[in-house]
Structure 1
């Protein structure tokens, strides 16, 4: 699960951030997405103003039991994490540094060289009426000794499995990069919210169709090449259509 923001020149959809010195603030649209890793295409998409918080979609989504949801730390919400736990859904996210919690237990794992490889904690979040028990795992790189801290409600997965699940979250970043490189939404044909959303949906549908086509082709052809070939083909078909239509209208 992730989101990306499309900047708009007019403040049609409420933007985020401070107003620039000019006094004019650009609008923006946020694309909230849930992607199934094995499929590689969006399964759930919601379009909102850029000001809408990332965990907007987390509150709405209900996944099948035994699903695993990977997301970044912008989605941290104790109440929703507790709901996911009660629904039998595993989540894996990155821990924020400023979170307040109670440490119930902690185990340090050390390599043969005497270096700490990871720290496994059982923690409790308490906020108002919400109580949520979670697992906090801090991992250290053998080379750089930099650490990353993951948060999950799964106490059975190995540290390596948790790291791999979070790593797979980058597949959705690749999807956004693919969309922005091949279907740039720099210009819109309409200025209304409806027109902007329709054009965005068209781009998502085009990306889906190109993905299906790329998987049908047996030889290796890059996604960008497929998009380019389709653009050239479409241009030729449209040209022929206009020629025929022009001749027909004169008769």
Structure 2
């Protein structure tokens, strides 16, 4: 979940590696009108039905072997190759989500990669929905920056509490650095700003 006022993650939940993401997602509630954007790891039609029933929109990636039937097709333009209403046809998925879904097939002109999105939003145009999914990448960038700049290469302690403390200790300054970067008058690259702060951390100014 991304807060567009600050472009920072709203929450983080740390779990053991064996805990699947969808288990955590099902424990969460979102305000009505929220747009939940998730990758294919969260594709659970029962959960999507819950989001729909609570008045939330979702945008996710479709799996390549998803059985479905096209009900209606719409005009497309730009990078949008297909925009259609579908219903699921396999017994299990149809039982979990019996409503119409919107399926968008999209070609990214920059990378040449093709994506297939699923959503329950029929108000926004297909390009907007593709752009919304692209914004999800900001979360991946955030975690990449943590790995690059906070350098958690090994853990000082091996107990669950010690590991959590070290991860949170990296997460908190990363959030503060991202906040400073957004507020700074000078448009820093994050790596340059981190290097500058490291060099001047104990320098007396004034």
Same fold (TM over 0.5): yes
Q: Which one of 33, 54, 63 corresponds to residue 66 of structure 1? A: 33
Distance in 1 between the 2:135 and 2:98 partners? 25
Give the number of aligned pairs. Answer: 199
SS in 2 for 1:165: helix
Cα distance, 1:62 vs. partner? Answer: 0.8
Contact 1:55 1:75 in 2 (8 A): yes
What is the aligned partner in structure 1 of residue 189 from structure 2? 222
Contact 2:102 2:119 in 1 (8 A): yes
What is the aligned partner in structure 1 of residue 58 from structure 2? 91
**Compared CA separation, residues 145 and 209, structure 1 to 2 (3 A):** closer
After superposition, the CA RMSD in angstroms is 2.6
Q: Which one of 122, 135, 156 corresponds to residue 86 of structure 2? A: 122
| Residues 137-156 of structure 1 mapped to structure 2, 5 A cutoff | 137-140=104-107, 147-156=114-123
- The structure whose Rg is larger is 1
Q: Which one of 120, 144, 166 corresponds to residue 177 of structure 1? A: 144
Distance in 2 between the 1:154 and 1:94 partners? 14
Contact 1:54 1:74 in 2 (8 A): yes
1:8-49 C-alpha deviation (Å, 9 max, x unpaired)? xxxxxxxxxxxxxxxxxxxxxxxxxx3324422221111111
Distance in 2 between the 1:55 and 1:106 partners? 30
Distance in 2 between the 1:196 and 1:145 partners? 40
SS in 2 for 1:49: coil
Listed as ranges, the gaps of 5+ residues in structure 1 are 1-33, 238-251
Relative to the length of structure 2, the TM-score reads 0.84
